Amino acid sequence: MTLRMSSLFLRTLREDPADAEVPSHKLLVRAGYVRRVAPGIYSWLPLGYTVLRKVERIVREEMVRMGAQEVHFPALIPREIYETSHRWTEYGQNLFRLKDRKDADYLLGPTHEELFTLLVKGEYSSYKDYPVSLFQIQTKYRDEARPRAGILRGREFVMKDSYSFDLDDEGLAKSYAAHRAAYQKTFERLGLDYRIVSAVSGAMGGSASEEFLAPTDSGEDTFVQCDNCDYAANTEAVEIAVPPAVDASQHPDAQVLDTPDTPTIATLVERLNSLRLGREFSGADTLKNVVMKSRAPGADWELLVVGVPGDREVDLKRLAGQLEPTEVAQAEPADLARQPRLVKGYIGPQILKEIGVRYLVDPLVVPGSAWVTGANEQDKHAAFVVRGRDFEPDGEIGAVEIRDGDRCARCGGHLAIARGIEIGHIFQLGRKYADAFELDALGPDGKSIRITMGSYGIGVSRAVAALAEQHHDEVGLIWPRSVAPADVHIVVAGKEEQLAAAEALAADLDARGLSVLLDDRAAVSAGVKFKDAELIGVPTVVVVGRGLADGVVEVRDRAAGTRDDVRLETAADEVAARCS
RNA sequence: CGGGGUGUAGCGCAGUUUGGCAGCGCGCUGCGUUCGGGACGCAGAGGUCGUGGGUUCAAAUCCCGCCACCCCGACCA
């Protein structure tokens, strides 16, 4: 196929759009791939739509190859289907809701667990039917509080979602592994650099949920990666190495200190060091007790105190991820007021058992360790407060904010913090939806078997943005061949003879099955054509210009920046070879 | 929801302080020159200055209200 730029619906921009911040957004708009319609809502122009379809095709091929079958659901869904799974209310404000003419409630699907589950329930009823995996590539709608970064995080976006249905956990594990392998293949073919990171902590659920992240500075997800082993995890799920437990009996007795006006760790450390207790103290020697509140599903809010070393912050997201489905939040002054024995700024764990407040510590607060912590009295702290002697937590929970350089729990290597774009997520859902919709199969013994499900997503339109983030330079995009809007971009830098030669070359390449973007614009200078070619980012560019007098054309490699003169007669062979 | 910022031609912006003809660059149309790195000349088209009200002889500019959008955070995958 040959696209002629003289008639292609395309207008490139010389300047960055004012509302764009990240490279993919700037370049996709400047190069005429997408245009904004409303916040988080974009139109795809011919070049952009071609790239989007190529990504889609690769995703589809790999899904089919792993044995999943393609279906297509409506985006417009009646309320009752979402009521059954309680998500009409649970999904909250992110759900686009609308009414039909009869005033009945509808929604625009943000994801399709319900429809998939209902479809399978309606069609299949025997154990002989399973396992089965279904997928669709479809437009999803989420009314994000703050869409951002162009098509990286939109309110309307294209997603491939698939679901596996199995009779038992082993089956689910197999389906999960098959999807995982298919995703690896998919992202390799797309030319995306990616990491598979654990999305739940090892303590909670093994490998039941993993994210595929494309590392880039504009990414919204923070993850850590070990510099020594292959451990990688979302910061919400990461586990870090902790010091060994200590013998509690080696510490002196706890001792109450006068520490007026030391409500913060910094002021406390300063005061401690002025007391000349025979050693220097740092924030890491203090135990900070943060008052939170938690609420189990269906229960009331109750106070929860979390203990972390004083030089560390509590990472609320990390905490929430591990406590789910119990909610957690920072305690309000009103919550604190109901426990008069908790003295703000001077809270210590010594009395928590007595007053019935749940206490969790970060694993860094190892058994037998001694701390300077609050004495539960205004202006007083206590030193040599020992875990296992002076207090005993109700449990451990990874609560501290991870730092660059923290040690890997597996191998002791250094963990580096990096950012990435979530381009895929695989998740062993289990029986949540099967329970809600009573999805069962009749077993060989005449008893029903509750089906177990896996859920797997790839952000298709987001992958286009991620590709742009990873493949560009100062002057434009540089697409991997597998997704480029064309195989070859021919620049006609001259008049009649050059145009004729370029047309002939384009026809030759076209006949070989390559797609050609032919810049045959008559009234545009060569300089503009070169700039546009760089901006658009087709991997191979052929310049038919002044060299034609000597019988050569110039073949450029956009990524490598190389330029080679090639005889016109062999140009098609050369280009075809580069494109294979 | 909290904080910061912006709305003027298709795009990028100046003009608002100190009220007085609606401007610049890119893009677009026509003619001519140029023709391998975002060429040049001449002539053009294109605007409800976000919106509603107010002050004034006169409002893009001052006052009051509203709306929209962008960025950071909260939230979310």
The answer on A441 and A321 residing in a single domain is no
Instruction: State residue A228 phi and psi, 5-degree precision.
Output: -120, -35
Tokens of A202: 């090892």
Provide, in whole angstroms, the distance separating residue A203's CA from nucleotide B45's C1'. 69
- Closest nucleotide (CA of A111 to C1')? B77
Strands A380-386 and A132-141: unpaired
- Specify which residue's alpha carbon is closest to the C1' of nucleotide B70: A19
**A284 and A180 in a common domain:** no
Q: Return the CATH number at A437.
A: 3.30.930.10
Nearest nucleotide, C1' to the C-alpha of A554? B36
| Domain end (from A350, A379, A396) | A396
Q: Does A418 map to a domain?
A: no
Instruction: Mark whether A39 and A187 lie in a shared domain.
Output: yes
Decide if A529 contacts A547 (C-beta within 8 A): no
| Interatomic CA–C1' length for residue A39 and nucleotide B51, angstroms | 20
Write the single-letter amino acid at A181: A
Nucleotide nearest to A213 (CA to C1'): B77
A221 occurs within a structural domain? no
A241 within some domain: no
- Which runs of consecutive H residues, i.e. helices, occur in A74-214? 79-84, 87-90, 113-123, 169-190, 202-205
A18: which nucleotide lies closest, measuring CA to C1'?
A: B12
Distance CA A244, CA A366 (A): 7
The distance (Å) linking the CA of A523 with the C1' of B29 is 14
Q: How many CB atoms lie within 10 A of CB A253?
A: 9
Q: Say how far A426 CA is from B64 C1', in Å.
A: 54
Question: How far is the C-alpha of A196 from the C-alpha of A176, rounded, in Å?
Answer: 14
In this complex, the nucleotide whose C1' atom is nearest to the CA atom of residue A316 is: B74
Query: Which nucleotide comes closest to A491 if you measure CA to C1'?
Result: B36
The one-letter code for the residue type at A100 is D
Which nucleotide is the nearest neighbour of A541, by CA and C1'? B36
Bases in strand B with any atom closer than 7 Å to a protein CB: 1, 11-13, 25-27, 34-39, 68-77
Residue nearest to nucleotide B13 (CA to C1'): A18
Which of A339, A373, A396 is at the close of a domain? A396
Tell me the C-alpha to C-alpha distance, in Å, between residue A23 and each of A31, A155, A459, A463, A467: 12, 19, 18, 14, 11
Residue A242, in any domain of the structure: no
Q: Among residues A468, A494, A516, which one ends one of the domains?
A: A468
Between CA A34 and C1' B32 the distance (Å) reads 36
Beta-strand pair A221-226/A41-44: unpaired
**Nearest residue (Cα to C1') for B77?**
A422
CA distance A258 to A253: 16
Q: Does a structural domain hold residue A404?
A: no
Are residues A444 and A506 located together in one domain of the fold? no
CA–C1' nearest nucleotide, residue A221? B77
Note the CA–C1' distance, A528 to B22, in angstroms.
31
Query: Closest protein residue to B12 using CA and C1' atoms?
Result: A15
A305, two tokens: 């105190």
| Domain at A379, CATH number | 3.90.960.10
pLDDT string in tens for chain A (580-residue length): 999 999 899 999 888 888 888 899 999 999 999 988 888 888 899 999 999 999 999 999 999 999 999 999 998 888 888 877 778 877 777 888 888 888 888 889 888 888 898 898 888 889 999 899 999 999 999 888 788 888 888 889 999 999 999 999 999 999 999 999 999 999 999 999 998 888 765 444 445 888 899 988 878 888 888 888 888 777 777 777 777 777 777 877 777 777 777 767 777 777 777 777 777 777 777 888 888 877 777 777 777 888 888 888 887 777 777 777 677 777 776 677 777 777 777 787 877 777 877 888 888 887 878 787 887 788 877 778 888 888 888 888 877 877 877 888 778 788 888 888 899 999 888 888 888 888 898 888 888 999 999 999 999 999 999 999 999 998 999 999 999 999 999 999 988 889 999 999 999 999 999 999 999 998 899 999 999 999 999 999 999 999 999 999 999 999 999 999 999 999 999 999 999 8
**Do residues A503 and A462 both lie within one domain?**
no
Instruction: Provide, in whole angstroms, the distance separating residue A6's CA from nucleotide B29's C1'.
Output: 17
Tokens of A147: 């869409």
Asked if the structure places residue A216 within a domain, the reply is: no
Helices (H), A200-323: 202-205, 265-274, 316-323
Same domain as A358, residue A270: yes
Which range of residues forms the domain containing residue A552? 486-579
> Nearest residue (Cα to C1') for B28?
A11
In eight-state DSSP terms, residue A298 is T
- Give strand letter and number of the nucleotide nearest A524 (CA to C1'): B35
Are residues A33 and A100 part of one domain? Answer: yes
> ipTM for the complex?
0.88
Are the CB atoms for A368 and A248 separated by under 8 Å?
A: yes
CA(A421)–C1'(B3) in Å?
A: 26
Using the structure, give the distance in angstroms from the CA atom of A570 to the C1' atom of B23, rounded to a whole number: 54
CA distances from A288 to A239, A342, A351, A400 (A): 20, 13, 15, 11
CA dist., res. A580 & res. A572, Å (int): 12
Q: Is residue A217 part of a domain?
A: no
- Total domains, chain A: 3
Query: For residue A554, what are the CA distances in angstroms to A267, A492, A532, A548, A571?
Result: 69, 11, 17, 9, 9
Tell which residue, A488, A490, A489, A493, has the closest CA to residue A549: A493
Residues A349 and A455 in one domain: no
Same domain flag for A462 and A392: no
The secondary structure element, H or E, covering residue A157 is strand A156-166
Report if residue A213 sits inside a domain: no
Q: Are residues A369 and A252 in the same domain?
A: yes
Through-space separation of residue A17 CA and nucleotide B15 C1' in angstroms = 21
Place of tokens 């007026």: A260
Assign 3-class secondary structure to A396-438. ECCCECCCCCCEECCCCCEEEEEEEEEEEEEEEEECHHHHHHC
For A437, the token pair is 């919709």
What phi, psi does A509 have (nearest 5°)? Answer: -65, -40
- How many Å apart are A18 CA and B57 C1'? 39
A464, A329: one domain: no
- Whether A464 and A381 map to the same domain: the answer is no
